Amino acid sequence: MAGYDFYLRLNKGEYMISKNYFNNAGLGSILDKILAGDRLSIEDGHTLFECKDLTALGTLASIVRRKMHGSKTFYVLNRHINYTNICINGCLFCAYARERGEQGAFQLSKEDIMEKLRSAPVAPREIHVVGGCHPDIPLSFFEETFVSIKSEFPQAVIKSFTAVEIAHFAKIEGISTIETLERLRKAGAEMLPGGGAEIFAPETRRKICPKKLDADNWLRVHGEAHKLGYSTNCTMLFGHIESIADRLDHLDRLRKQQDETGGFNCFIPLPFLTENSRLEIEHPLTGIDELKTIAISRLMLDNIPHIKAYWVMLGVKQAQTALHFGADDFDGTVVEEKIGHMAGASSDQALTRSELEEMIRGCGFTPVERDAAFNEV
């Protein structure tokens, strides 16, 4: 394979690319594909995971990230609302869920939700609503709540319910997931968050969340949402008992779904936090593995525009580093978060606009405030 050196100038980033260096790291042909804009195969994904040269991986992911977004790093003024932790699914990894009547179980009323929104330090542009699969909260509760939210916070986009919750509501109401999505859209929902994807590979999924909606149905609900005009996000929970092949299978399924229905806006790689979990983990996730997985996600998901460095789960410092490994979004103010913090997240509950901007600038990027759909504001 020919070795040569060249400068690559991309949207305010300049890279000295030595082909010999990438050849020696075993990544020469992958560099060629990336520069040509060609899709990476699952085999390429394995080569990337096997590569020990973290700097080479980071450079490849940064090339793609710079081509797509230059030095911009996005953030949003958002507010999370976790409306209940009562859940019938009992996923083994989950530290958040409780059974009804169990100590620590909670369920917010419509007034509780409105009060939380009113007390947010700044008016949110994105309201992220997710919770457990509660046995009997009717869909009408959310329809009424969303109508009130939209009338009091018309500038905010409601990003609500994982595909798992959508399928759960459909089941308890005896209606289709399409009808569920249509009713929620009419009430004001515009986006679906990416949770509930966990890991798609059936055998591993059965071990970590046997009662949860399966991969095909998770993807089907997102496809239906895309066709109804929702834009949606997607996630992958990694660093538990899954294999590298499971991670690559997961990324490949998301990429195929995106080829078909095209509505995924952002991918969020979620490193597994182990506190209060019933899952036994043999090899705890390392910081290196987190960065590699983020970089490889950027490289494999050539058709998903954004990769989120979710500071709540990664921790702020690792989220900053992730911006040099392919991530271009820093999520947002969040204000109150329970899912990660009940699992041992050591990050703060909230960040302010100026903290977000300072952190982004501090690692050499340009902060850009966005709305929920990634339009610059």
Interface with ligand SF4 (CB under 6 A): 87, 89-91, 94, 96-97, 132-133, 164, 209, 212
Quick one: what does residue 224 bind among ligand V47, ligand SF4, none, with the CB cut-off 5 to 8 Å set by partner type? none
Q: Is residue 193 part of the contact set for ligand V47 (CB under 6 A)?
A: yes
Coil vs helix vs strand at 106: coil
Q: Is 51 annotated as a binding residue?
A: no
Q: Measure the CA–CA gap between 34 and 170, rounded to whole angstroms.
A: 42
Chosen from ligand V47, ligand SF4, none, partner binding at 272 (C-beta under 5 to 8 Å by type): ligand V47
| Closest-CA residue to 329 (of 75, 128, 127) | 75
Applying the rule CB under 6 A, the residues between 196 and 215 that interact with ligand V47 are 196, 198
**Which region among 92-100, 131-139, 223-231, 245-253 touches ligand V47 (by CB under 6 A)?**
92-100
Q: Is 118 exposed, middle or buried (0-12, 13-18, 19+ CB in 10 A)?
A: exposed
Check whether 209 is labelled as a binding-site residue.
no
Q: Which is nearer to ligand V47, 45 or 196 (CB)?
A: 196
Tokens at residue 204, please?
């591993």
- Residue 198 counted as an annotated binding residue: yes
Show the DSSP H helices in the chain as ranges: 19-24, 28-36, 42-50, 54-69, 110-118, 139-152, 163-173, 177-187, 202-208, 215-227, 244-261, 287-300, 311-314, 316-322, 353-362
The yes or no reply on residue 74 touching ligand V47 (CB under 6 A) is: no
Question: Which two tokens mark 198?
Answer: 């966990």
Backbone angles phi, psi at 366, to 5 degrees: -105, 115
Pick from 161, 238, 272, 330: which binds ligand V47 (CB under 6 A)? 272
Say how far apart CA 75 and CA 352 lie, in whole Å.
11
The interface with ligand V47 within residues 30-49 (CB under 6 A) comprises: none
Residue 235 binds: one of ligand SF4, ligand V47, none (C-beta under 5 to 8 A by kind): ligand V47
266 is in an annotated binding site: no
Contact, 157 vs 126, CB < 8 A?
yes
Residue 319 contact partner, candidates ligand V47, ligand SF4, none, CB within 5 to 8 A by sort of partner: none
Residue 315 beta carbon to ligand SF4: minimum distance, rounded to whole angstroms: 21
**Cα separations in angstroms, 347 against 332, 335, 338:** 13, 12, 11
Contact between 263 and ligand V47 by CB under 6 A: the answer reads no
Q: Report if residue 268 touches ligand V47, rule: CB under 6 A.
A: yes
237 binds ligand V47 (CB under 6 A): yes
Amino acid identity, position 243: S
Output DSSP code: residue 286.
P
Q: 195, 269, 326, 367: which one contacts ligand V47 (CB under 6 A)?
A: 195
Binding residues for [4Fe-4S] cluster: 87, 91, 94
Residues binding ligand V47 (CB under 6 A)? 93-95, 162, 193-196, 198, 233, 235, 237, 268, 270, 272-273, 277, 310, 313, 331, 339-340, 343
Binding residues: 87, 91, 93-94, 198
